[in-house]
Structure 1
């Protein structure tokens, strides 16, 4: 089957927050929960065939209805009807069957990758990481901030997720935290510790087991002349890890704690890698 993508119009498929499907600024997002869940799975697997068995597993898990095939066909018809209305209102001359294509054993959402919100985030985040690894912290900050500005909330926050969709949601949310961490690293290397103290405190609170973010907060507080608060961050993290996971902070974090206690002057060096766990060998 010939594969087509939308032409003559602009499409936006958003997963970085509530599910959003827009065509030339016209909202075509389904409202029915199962249809939204199905569209979300098609979106995160865009330009790949989603098998019928995968749709069944995502929508119903181990308890599919007796009329599974008929119900799925009904959902596909309803989704295509929604897309048809959106395409018409958006002024795009395209059959919804060319957008949501039928293949042997499944269906595929066929779109230009540039229409995917998460793909744009990935491209900007990868660019920012490479700029950070190259030592161009100013450009890295711009790229990473542009990537993070695309987020409107937790990934697919308003969509029920099953066993296939949930790993994609987890991966997207983890990628956001990684981009946040790398942005904080770029900012610290430019001496902007005072500017990002609030952001770092929020990030550490939202990710109570994330050692790297806590390490960055400790260094920012230390550089701001708030050594006692930096040590309190370590104590709080150590208590959380012990109580909830039964583990101790890493050796690297203990070393950072000792360096702050001893007033190690190297912590004032802007070339010091604040992200103690940042893998600078990866591209």
Structure 2
């Protein structure tokens, strides 16, 4: 199975939205020109980006029912604020030239900012940390209190608020060097007392991961094993390491990082379970063995890796993994391996006896 790249996924999903000849009209925010706002266009664009109606509702601040009504053309000309938020999230109001100028932001590993196909080095840990937080909380308002806690922890300087304004201003200049300084329609907007990064989900790897994992689960529910395994593998390959690995250990406990890390572990566990059940255990070790050092005490991932190794003809490695986590559990937590690990060990030992 070829290892996909998130940039390629973005290129495939960032389709240009062509106006249709029927439907409701809305105004392009940047040019003031009229384009078609049709329910079918919204629905197709949402699906291209791998978003559910619930996820689009969360990103736009609308209710799921409103999104559903818009897609089925059951509402008449949504309010301008709603139109703008839907258009921003789905990228319906950007020209092809504007699309080329938009950044791609990767946080599943060390922070990586790419603009016009080239990686951009952000000067200083504070700017990197600020962009990382905005990317994790994309299309959500981040209040100054959260930013200050993220950047400085429990002991911020007295000038933290002033420094924050300077960092935001500098980040805006880097992301959109041609945009007027006081423009309200930029990528980073002041809203409700905080700041909000507005990018299409496919331009941030954490959203790419979530979209692919959502697609994989949907395929699995329909019994589409090949599609599910491919989507899970693509989702897991979007990760290059721990979230924002270059920003230090203090932010590891931030809820946004904890939640997406748990989502990665859940996707890996689901992938392994489906692969082994489908008789394809060879798919599992390469993906999960890379993850185990980051989850050294996770019994479920170790047990599933052991089961796959035993099924793929390497029970000795499975037994070795058991003893390694057994030692860690005893030394760090004072506990013995649980039922899942014991069952996986029995399976590996049985495979060794039959070899």
Shift of 1:102: 1.6
CA contact (8 A) 1:37 1:161 kept: no
What secondary structure, in the 3-state scheme, does the structure 2 residue paired with 1:148 have?
Answer: helix
Please, which moves more after superposition, 31-40 or 224-233? 224-233
CA RMSD of aligned residues (A): 3.5
Instruction: Report what 2:301 is aligned to.
Output: 213
| 1:65 equivalent in alignment to 2:153 | no
Shift of 1:200: 4.4
What secondary structure, in the 3-state scheme, does the structure 2 residue paired with 1:13 have?
Answer: strand
Distance 2:299 2:309 in 1: 15
What secondary structure, in the 3-state scheme, does the structure 2 residue paired with 1:38 have?
Answer: helix
Shift of 1:136: 2.7
Instruction: Report what 1:280 is aligned to.
Output: none
Counterpart mapping for 1:126-275 below 5 A = 126-160=214-248, 166-194=254-282, 196-258=284-346, 261=349
CA contact (8 A) 2:307 2:347 kept: no
Structure 1, residues 184-238: CA drift from partner, whole Å, max 9, x if none? Answer: 2232223233454454444445533222222223323333455455444333332
Instruction: Report what 2:45 is aligned to.
Output: none
CA contact (8 A) 1:200 1:213 kept: yes
Counterpart mapping for 1:79-94 below 5 A = 79-85=171-177
Greater RCO structure (CA 8 Å; 6+ sep): 1
Question: Which residue of 191, 196, 199 maps to 1:111?
Answer: 199
Distance 1:173 1:65 in 2: 30
Instruction: Report what 1:18 is aligned to.
Output: 110
Q: Number of paired residues?
A: 261
Change (3 A) 1:69 1:234: closer
Change (3 A) 1:105 1:160: farther
Distance 1:227 1:76 in 2: 53
What secondary structure, in the 3-state scheme, does the structure 2 residue paired with 1:209 have?
Answer: coil
Distance 2:171 2:241 in 1: 24
Structure 1, residues 121-151: CA drift from partner, whole Å, max 9, x if none? Answer: 1011122133334443211111112212322
Please, which moves more after superposition, 10-19 or 195-204? 195-204
What secondary structure, in the 3-state scheme, does the structure 2 residue paired with 1:98 have?
Answer: coil
Q: TM-score, normalised by structure 2?
A: 0.62
Shift of 1:249: 2.0
What secondary structure, in the 3-state scheme, does the structure 2 residue paired with 1:50 have?
Answer: coil
Instruction: Report what 1:75 is aligned to.
Output: 167
Structure 1 runs not aligned, ≥5 long: 89-93, 264-283
Change (3 A) 1:55 1:202: closer
Shift of 1:112: 2.5
